[in-house]
């Protein structure tokens, strides 16, 4: 059993790896966490995590620059149905396309586009930066045992763009920020979080632990 965190030159792999290691230890799932840019390691992994920080187009370029990585992701996640978690821009990349600075193709695993957050209240600050509660839109193993809703635990967000899902059944959780913001998506063996579980203290570690034992 192993968990591959895909290293494509984007973002904060160190924090993500440490949070997964901690959650693995505490939940006694004891799955080795491997940070890798080797497509074969992704193919062999039992679970795959795609982190991502920065701009959509830049992340997509980074992913394409690792030879064979997109193909390995397609194979492991789409063909083999291995549990997959996209984080922040890693989740956004699951969409069909992104509209940050330029139009860029995503992986197309979740129908929808990534576009700038447009809160109803123009005084609201962008980026949506800080802690917000989550409202679940359907039950899911990743949310097991986590207190949600207005009185629930908080997740740490930092983003200016939002994945607008075309099919609402892909929506797992939303946050309120001058209108609904996509906080989580899920379909088949895939899930994604717009917030950073590796920075979301209690909620984050619980969610990662759930991911490590998820059997879709």
Partner 1 sequence: MFKVRVIPCLDVKDGRVVKGVKFVDLRDAGDPVEAAIAYDAAGADELTFLDITASHENRETIFDVVQRTAEACFMPLTVGGGVRTVEDIRKLLTSGADKVSINTAAVNRRAFVKEAAEKFGDQCIVVAIDAKKVSKPGEPDRWDIFTHGGRNPTGLNAVDYAREVVALGAGEILLTSMDRDGTKSGFDIALTRAVSDAVPVPVVASGGVGNLDHMVAGIRDGHASAVLAASIFHFGEYTVRQAKQHMAKAGLPMRLDP
Report, in Å, the least distance between residue 135 CB and partner 1: 10
Q: Are 157 and 132 in contact (CB under 8 A)?
A: yes
129 binds partner 1 (CB under 8 A): yes
The residue annotated as part of the active site, out of 88, 113, 154, 159, is: 88
Give dist(CA 66, CA 59) in Å, integer: 11
15 versus 164: smaller Cβ distance to partner 1: 15
DSSP 177-200: SSSEEEEEEEETTEEEESS-GGGS
Does the active-site annotation cover 196?
A: yes
200 binds partner 1 (CB under 8 A): yes
Measured from the Cβ of residue 54, the count of other Cβ atoms closer than 10 Å reads 14
Task: Give the residue, chosen from 18, 25, 116, 213, that forms a contact with partner 1 under the rule CB under 8 A.
Answer: 18
199 binds partner 1 (CB under 8 A): yes
Candidate ranges 16-24, 65-73, 107-115, 164-172; the one touching partner 1 (CB under 8 A): 16-24
Candidate ranges 60-68, 103-111, 146-154, 185-193; the one touching partner 1 (CB under 8 A): 146-154
Task: Give the residue, chosen from 3, 69, 153, 171, that forms a contact with partner 1 under the rule CB under 8 A.
Answer: 153
116 binds partner 1 (CB under 8 A): no
Give dist(CA 46, CA 130) in Å, integer: 32
Give dist(CA 30, CA 91) in Å, integer: 25
- Spell out the residues 6+ positions from residue 190 whose beta carbon is closer than 8 angstroms to its own: 77, 84, 86, 94, 109, 110
7 binds partner 1 (CB under 8 A): no
Return the closest-CA partner of residue 84 out of 176, 171, 211: 211
Chain positions contacting partner 1, by CB under 8 A: 11-15, 18-19, 22, 53-55, 58, 125-133, 150, 153-154, 156, 158-160, 175-177, 196, 198-205
Which residues carry out catalysis?
Answer: 88, 196, 198
């Amino acid at each position: 059993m192993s968990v591959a965190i895909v290293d494509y030159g984007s973002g904060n792999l160190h924090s993500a790896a440490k949070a997964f290691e901690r959650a693995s230890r505490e939940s006694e799932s004891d799955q080795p966490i491997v940070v890798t840019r080797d497509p074969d390691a992704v193919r062999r992994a039992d679970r795959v995590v795609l982190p991502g920080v920065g701009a959509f187009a830049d992340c997509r370029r980074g992913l394409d620059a690792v030879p064979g990585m997109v193909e390995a992701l397609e194979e492991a996640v789409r063909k083999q149905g291995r549990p997959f978690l996209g984080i922040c821009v890693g989740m956004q990349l699951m969409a069909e396309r992104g509209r940050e600075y330029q139009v860029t193709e995503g992986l197309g695993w979740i129908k929808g586009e990534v576009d700038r957050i447009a809160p109803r209240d123009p005084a609201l600050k962008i980026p949506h930066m800080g802690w917000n509660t989550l409202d679940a839109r359907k039950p899911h193993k990743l949310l097991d045992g986590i207190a949600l809703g207005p009185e629930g635990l908080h997740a740490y967000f930092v983003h200016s763009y939002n994945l607008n899902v075309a099919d609402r059944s892909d929506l797992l959780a939303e946050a309120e920020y001058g209108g609904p913001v996509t906080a989580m998506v899920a379909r088949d063996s895939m899930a994604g979080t717009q917030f950073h579980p590796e920075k979301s203290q209690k909620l984050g570690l619980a969610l990662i632990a759930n991911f490590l034992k998820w059997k879709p």
